[in-house]
């Protein structure tokens, strides 16, 4: 069986690599035709998609999977509409492939610059959400990359049907149908093979729980763009505008509790604590958000739980927030760089020096001044769509859109130059 | 022993990580002071450096290491001078750290852009050449990264002395001395530990033979910027200027036989073969370069060896070149994308369409029109210096200078915005 899976995956890999060369030189018109045809096809097949998704949902319910899981697995009229909007948005973005930049004249007489090119083949591994099948295929094709999709076994019926629609649209646009391939075995060996086929696959993008990402990081022989926790912080500086601080902290924590850019930890300057903390506590109390604070926090707002060391490392994704009082901005920055997961942090301050120091010295993928951490996503950043949010520093950091799926090769324009 | 090495390496890693935060915010003036002080110090200690290097050379000779190895290990007056020039060049480059770019106004009211930041900690693993110790330390400090250096055991005396000079210059410049640390054990376990400390090290850069790179790729738990073979090609198109073709092919192959940007394989359009091949053969014959050709090549220049399939995969680094005749540019591109190692390829052509097609469709880190493959290096590309040439597509491709040692974080400038 293992040998069969290996052969099956190697065959998929070879086809993906071969067609990636055709896709790399495909015209923008063809790629956009694919995107708009697929958008149409999704709309037309709405009821059929929902029917296939029902099969997956029934299976999941039989297996007793929890409500949050069922929620992520569900395709509704609304999620189909948002897939359609996403595809049309990707179609409207500039084609980055072939873009030439930074051309400089050298003293040797050659001109040196860079050309943007696709990475080649993307291996995407994700759990439950079948809409990722469409988002990822759309971003991959627009950026000129073949893609191999490995969705969760619990969404096989939905994904297989979506894959059929994708294939039809590829054919209509005159693109090779092997540009997007869906792995249709539940065998986990397929994932192991996928993340080790470095002769065929150029990047692995996992979207899923910590155990999936840990396994992939350990076993992959291919670069991984990974998305870990979002233990996001806001530092309320001594020079914060109190009204701004209250509305931004409230929005960052309570607009949605379960997203990766949700606020999880509050760092407050001692000089503003007695003014700010009672007011934010009132807001949080009204929304049943529990505050876990340091000893000094408890002195200001006694009616809260004491935070333990581990609270400061926690991504709660729940109605809980940790809080610490600091003396200086240096202390705030050191605390955040120690406990943060490097996703998103924001400072509330009207002091220019402090704001700029925070911007420079915080080591996270998004660093903000006077704005809600909830803004950290590809759509809000104008990328049009995102294939994930990278908490790595290498290659792509923060929300990853089309550009993160490309690479730059050097180009040299000469007129007969040789090296002396 | 293994436990001791682990403790030793973890201690080095922790120090490197800690000081990386100080270095990230160090002023350009301090970093440049380090570079110019080290340049001075190298000049002043020239005879002492050569004396220490003699110890390594004597050991190497006793162990019977070959001439090429001895050559790479040798530090002469000239190599010391070139280290000095390199450091002063790095000092003269713009400081990229903190550079803000791509600021855009979003409809939500926030402004989104990117800031260039260091990667953090570099792990550099290299063989024999002790000058890498200086080049790598210079590039690391200028780009705001701490670096851990693991040179070859055969150059320990040279490297330890150079490390002492580096430490003195760090102290003079007021930078923490743990920004540059040299591993001073010959134990190979230290390398294994270094490439797996992903809590402390952000990127591994190996420079050495294939077996070293293979081992690192397999065992690393950290992103690797790797430099594999340079099986470089020139395609002499039907529309080539013959004089250009002859001088560029000659220069690319014979200026230096043993570098990674040396030409290893010649692809010739059939329509120009009977004109071009006899002339290049005459040049190559005079320089004792052996041509191994396909059956069609032999029809034009009979007095050569037949190439086998494996010849086309070969990075000879020797007075040998493979040759194939093709019918079309598509065939040329397909041949090169199949056999090349993705380092550097050049087309000789005065046909605009063919030249641009080659530029777009060749999947290599450097693609050239009418220029010698020998130009593919950081100095010729205006990067000032290079820490290596990446044959990967991920993060950095081609010659890697300061920019390849940095990352971009998103920055958001708000005035109180919350997400609706």
Q: To the nearest whole angstrom, how far is the Cα of B381 from the nearest Cα of chain A?
A: 6
Distance CA A239, CA A180 (A): 52
What are the E-state strand segments in A60-141?
A: 100-105, 111-118, 121-126
Question: Between chains, do A376 and B412 touch, taking CB under 8 Å as contact?
Answer: yes
Q: To the nearest whole angstrom, how far is the Cα of B61 from the nearest Cα of chain A?
A: 34
Question: Between chains, do B375 and A417 touch, taking CB under 8 Å as contact?
Answer: yes
C-beta separation of B259 from B282 below 8 A: no
The continuous run of DSSP H or E covering B62 comes out as helix B46-62
What is the per-residue pLDDT across B260-302, written as a single tens digit (0 to 9) for each? 999 999 999 999 999 999 999 999 999 999 999 999 999 999 9
Distance CA A117, CA A98 (A): 6
Question: Between chains, do A414 and B247 touch, taking CB under 8 Å as contact?
Answer: no
Q: To the nearest whole angstrom, how far is the Cα of A109 from the nearest Cα of chain B?
A: 10
Mapping DSSP to helix (H, G, I), strand (E, B) and coil, where does residue B182 land? strand
Question: Between chains, do B411 and A367 touch, taking CB under 8 Å as contact?
Answer: yes
Question: Between chains, do B413 and A366 touch, taking CB under 8 Å as contact?
Answer: no
Distance CA A68, CA A58 (A): 15
Q: To the nearest whole angstrom, how far is the Cα of A108 from the nearest Cα of chain B?
A: 8
Residues of B in contact with A408 (CB under 8 A): 397
Question: Between chains, do B255 and A419 touch, taking CB under 8 Å as contact?
Answer: yes
Q: Are residues B132 and B249 in the same domain?
A: no
**Among A120, A255, A370, whose Cβ lies nearest the Cβ of B393?**
A120
Mapping DSSP to helix (H, G, I), strand (E, B) and coil, where does residue A348 land? strand
Residues of B in contact with A247 (CB under 8 A): 416, 418
Q: Are residues B332 and B200 in the same domain?
A: no
Question: Between chains, do A115 and B419 touch, taking CB under 8 Å as contact?
Answer: no
Q: To the nearest whole angstrom, how far is the Cα of B284 from the nearest Cα of chain A?
A: 17
Q: Are residues B77 and B136 in the same domain?
A: yes
The nearest alpha carbon in chain B to A350 belongs to B415
Distance CA A276, CA A349 (A): 13
Q: Are residues B207 and B254 in the same domain?
A: no
What is the per-residue pLDDT across B69-80, written as a single tens digit (0 to 9) for each? 898 899 999 999
Question: CB neighbours of A420 closer than 8 A, spacing ≥ 6?
Answer: A108
Distance CA A96, CA B304 (A): 45
Q: Are residues A363 and A324 in the same domain?
A: yes
Tokens 């942090």 correspond to A345
Question: Between chains, do B419 and A106 touch, taking CB under 8 Å as contact?
Answer: no
**Among A110, A375, A408, whose Cβ lies nearest the Cβ of B375?**
A110
Distance CA B82, CA A76 (A): 66
Q: To the nearest whole angstrom, how far is the Cα of A411 from the nearest Cα of chain B?
A: 5
Task: Specify the DSSP class assigned to residue A307.
Answer: P
Task: Specify the DSSP class assigned to residue A157.
Answer: H
Residues of B in contact with A395 (CB under 8 A): 223, 394-395
| Count of domains for chain B | 2
Mapping DSSP to helix (H, G, I), strand (E, B) and coil, where does residue A411 land? strand
Sheet with strand B263-269: strands edge to edge: A100-105, A111-118, A406-417, B366-371, B344-348, B232-236, B263-269, B320-326, B290-293, B305-306
**Among B25, B382, B397, whose Cβ lies nearest the Cβ of A408?**
B397
C-beta separation of B183 from B159 below 8 A: no
Residue B355: C-alpha distances to residues A413, B239, B272, B369, B371 (Å): 10, 10, 16, 6, 12
C-beta separation of B344 from B366 below 8 A: yes
Give me the sign of the Cα torsion angle B262, B265, B270, B274: positive
Is A24 part of any domain?
yes
Is A175 part of any domain?
yes
**Among B25, B365, B380, whose Cβ lies nearest the Cβ of A106?**
B380
Residues of B in contact with A398 (CB under 8 A): 409-410
Question: CB neighbours of B160 closer than 8 A, spacing ≥ 6?
Answer: B52, B182, B184
Give me the sign of the Cα torsion angle A191, A195, A197, A199: positive
Distance CA A301, CA A387 (A): 41
Residues of A in contact with B335 (CB under 8 A): none
Question: Between chains, do A363 and B24 touch, taking CB under 8 Å as contact?
Answer: yes
The nearest alpha carbon in chain A to B382 belongs to A106
Question: Between chains, do A395 and B394 touch, taking CB under 8 Å as contact?
Answer: yes
Q: Are residues B9 and B136 in the same domain?
A: yes
C-beta separation of B338 from B364 below 8 A: no
Residues of A in contact with B363 (CB under 8 A): 21, 24, 117, 120, 409
C-beta separation of B90 from B379 below 8 A: no
What pLDDT is attached to residue B3? 58
Task: Specify the DSSP class assigned to residue A301.
Answer: S
Q: To the nearest whole angstrom, how far is the Cα of B158 from the nearest Cα of chain A?
A: 31
The continuous run of DSSP H or E covering A291 comes out as strand A290-293
Residue B48: C-alpha distances to residues B43, B224, B419 (Å): 10, 34, 64
Q: Are residues A125 and A159 in the same domain?
A: yes
What pLDDT is attached to residue A120? 96
Is A371 part of any domain?
yes
**Among A371, A408, A414, whose Cβ lies nearest the Cβ of B414?**
A371
Is A390 part of any domain?
no
Q: What is the CATH number of the domain that holds A324?
A: 3.40.309.10
Is B194 part of any domain?
yes
Q: Beta strand A398-400 with A388-390: parallel, antiparallel or unpaired?
A: antiparallel
Profile chain A (420 residues) by mean pLDDT over runs of 10 residues: 81 96 96 98 98 96 88 93 93 95 95 97 92 95 97 91 97 97 89 94 90 87 86 98 98 94 98 98 98 98 96 96 98 96 96 97 96 94 85 91 95 96
Question: Between chains, do B115 and A367 touch, taking CB under 8 Å as contact?
Answer: yes
Q: Beta strand A111-118 with A100-105: parallel, antiparallel or unpaired?
A: antiparallel
Take residue A251 and report the two structure tokens written for it: 């929005």
Question: Between chains, do A418 and B248 touch, taking CB under 8 Å as contact?
Answer: yes
Take residue B85 and report the two structure tokens written for it: 């020039």
Residues of A in contact with B244 (CB under 8 A): 415-416
Q: Are residues A74 and A104 in the same domain?
A: yes
Residues of B in contact with A117 (CB under 8 A): 363, 393
Question: Between chains, do B382 and A106 touch, taking CB under 8 Å as contact?
Answer: yes
Q: Beta strand A406-417 with A111-118: parallel, antiparallel or unpaired?
A: antiparallel
C-beta separation of A130 from A74 below 8 A: no
Question: Between chains, do B393 and A217 touch, taking CB under 8 Å as contact?
Answer: no
Domain range holding B22? 2-226+396-413
Residue A93 backbone dihedrals phi, psi, to 5 degrees: -75, 150
- Which among A27, A376, A412, A413 is the top mutation candidate for probing chain B, defined by the most B β-carbons within 10 Å of its own β-carbon? A412
Q: To the nearest whole angstrom, how far is the Cα of B97 from the nearest Cα of chain A?
A: 9
Residue A215: C-alpha distances to residues A195, A203, B145 (Å): 10, 16, 29
Q: What is the CATH number of the domain that holds A69?
A: 3.40.605.10
Is A389 part of any domain?
no
Distance CA A86, CA A387 (A): 11
Q: Are residues B348 and B213 in the same domain?
A: no
The nearest alpha carbon in chain B to A251 belongs to B418
Take residue B164 and report the two structure tokens written for it: 């002492």
C-beta separation of B365 from B227 below 8 A: no
In chain A, how long is the greatest CA-to-CA distance? 78
C-beta separation of A371 from A240 below 8 A: no
CA geometry: angle B28, B29, B35, nearest 5 deg: 90
Q: Are residues B194 and B247 in the same domain?
A: no
Q: To the nearest whole angstrom, how far is the Cα of A180 from the nearest Cα of chain B?
A: 20
Q: Are residues A28 and A113 in the same domain?
A: yes
**Among B203, B337, B369, whose Cβ lies nearest the Cβ of A394?**
B203
Query: Which one, of A39, A221, A224, lies nearest residue A135 by Cα?
Result: A39
The nearest alpha carbon in chain A to B413 belongs to A369
Task: Specify the DSSP class assigned to residue A224.
Answer: B
| A393 alpha-carbon distance from chain centroid | 13
Q: Which residues pair with A124 in a beta bridge?
A: A149, A205
Query: Which one, of B282, B373, B281, lies nearest residue B292 by Cα?
Result: B281
Q: To the nearest whole angstrom, how far is the Cα of A214 from the nearest Cα of chain B?
A: 11
Q: Beta strand A232-236 with A263-269: parallel, antiparallel or unpaired?
A: parallel
**Among A217, A364, A374, whose Cβ lies nearest the Cβ of B409?**
A364
Question: Between chains, do B410 and A366 touch, taking CB under 8 Å as contact?
Answer: yes
Question: Between chains, do A223 and B218 touch, taking CB under 8 Å as contact?
Answer: no
Question: Between chains, do A110 and B371 touch, taking CB under 8 Å as contact?
Answer: yes
H-helix segments, B63-112: 67-73, 77-92
Question: Between chains, do B251 and A418 touch, taking CB under 8 Å as contact?
Answer: yes
In chain A, what are the helix, strand and coil shares in percent, each to the nearest 5?
A: 45, 20, 30
Question: Between chains, do B368 and A411 touch, taking CB under 8 Å as contact?
Answer: yes
Take residue B244 and report the two structure tokens written for it: 């250009």
**Among A203, A250, A337, whose Cβ lies nearest the Cβ of B394?**
A203
Question: CB neighbours of B169 closer than 8 A, spacing ≥ 6?
Answer: B34, B37, B38, B41
Regions of chain B short of the pLDDT cut 70: 1-3
Question: Between chains, do A361 and B251 touch, taking CB under 8 Å as contact?
Answer: no
Is A318 part of any domain?
yes
Mapping DSSP to helix (H, G, I), strand (E, B) and coil, where does residue B210 land? helix
Taking CB atoms within 8 Å and a gap of at least 24, the contacts of A84-87 are A84/A39, A84/A42, A84/A43, A86/A134, A86/A135, A86/A138, A86/A385, A87/A35, A87/A36, A87/A38, A87/A39, A87/A42, A87/A134, A87/A138
Is A86 part of any domain?
yes
Question: Between chains, do B366 and A393 touch, taking CB under 8 Å as contact?
Answer: no
Q: Are residues A194 and A237 in the same domain?
A: no
**Among B243, B381, B398, whose Cβ lies nearest the Cβ of A409?**
B398
């Amino acid at each position: 069986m293992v040998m069969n899976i290996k052969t099956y995956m190697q065959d998929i890999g070879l086809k993906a690599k071969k067609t990636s060369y055709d896709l790399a030189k495909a015209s923008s018109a063809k790629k956009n035709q694919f995107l708009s045809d697929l958008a149409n096809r999704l709309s037309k097949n709405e009821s059929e998609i929902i029917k296939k998704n029902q099969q997956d949902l029934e299976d999941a319910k039989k297996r007793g999977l929890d409500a949050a899981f069922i929620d992520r697995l569900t395709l509704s009229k609304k999620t189909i509409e948002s897939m359609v909007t996403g595809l049309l948005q990707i179609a409207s973005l500039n084609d980055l492939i072939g873009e030439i930049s930074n051309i400089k004249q050298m003293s040797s007489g050659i001109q040196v610059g860079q050309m943007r090119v696709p990475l080649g083949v993307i291996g995407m591994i994700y759990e439950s959400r079948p809409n990722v099948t469409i988002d990822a295929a759309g971003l991959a094709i627009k950026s000129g990359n073949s893609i191999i999709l490995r969705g969760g076994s619990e969404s096989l019926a939905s994904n297989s049907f979506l894959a059929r629609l994708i294939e039809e649209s590829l054919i209509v646009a005159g693109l090779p149908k092997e540009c997007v391939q869906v792995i249709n075995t539940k065998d986990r060996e397929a994932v192991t093979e996928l993340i080790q086929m470095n002769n065929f696959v150029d990047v692995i993008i996992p979207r899923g729980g910590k155990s999936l990402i840990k396994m992939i990081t350990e076993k992959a022989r291919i670069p991984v763009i990974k998305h870990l926790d979002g233990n996001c912080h806001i530092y309320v500086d001594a020079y914060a505008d109190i009204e701004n601080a209250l509305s931004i902290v409230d929005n960052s924590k309570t607009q949605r509790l379960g997203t990766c850019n949700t606020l999880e930890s509050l760092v407050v300057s001692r000089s503003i604590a007695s003014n700010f903390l009672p007011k934010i506590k009132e807001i949080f109390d009204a929304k049943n958000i529990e505050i876990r604070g340091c000893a000094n926090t408890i002195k200001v707002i006694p009616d809260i739980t004491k935070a333990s060391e581990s609270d400061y490392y926690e991504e709660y994704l729940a109605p809980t927030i940790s809080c610490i009082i600091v003396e200086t901005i240096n202390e705030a920055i050191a605390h955040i760089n120690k406990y943060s997961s490097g996703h998103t942090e924001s400072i509330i301050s009207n002091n220019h020096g402090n704001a700029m120091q925070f911007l420079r010295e915080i080591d996270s993928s998004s660093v903000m001044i006077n704005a809600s951490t909830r803004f950290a996503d590809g759509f809000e950043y104008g990328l049009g769509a995102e294939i994930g949010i990278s908490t790595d520093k290498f290659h792509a950091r923060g929300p990853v859109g089309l550009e993160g799926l490309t690479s730059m090769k050097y180009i040299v324009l000469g007129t007969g130059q040789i090296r002396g």
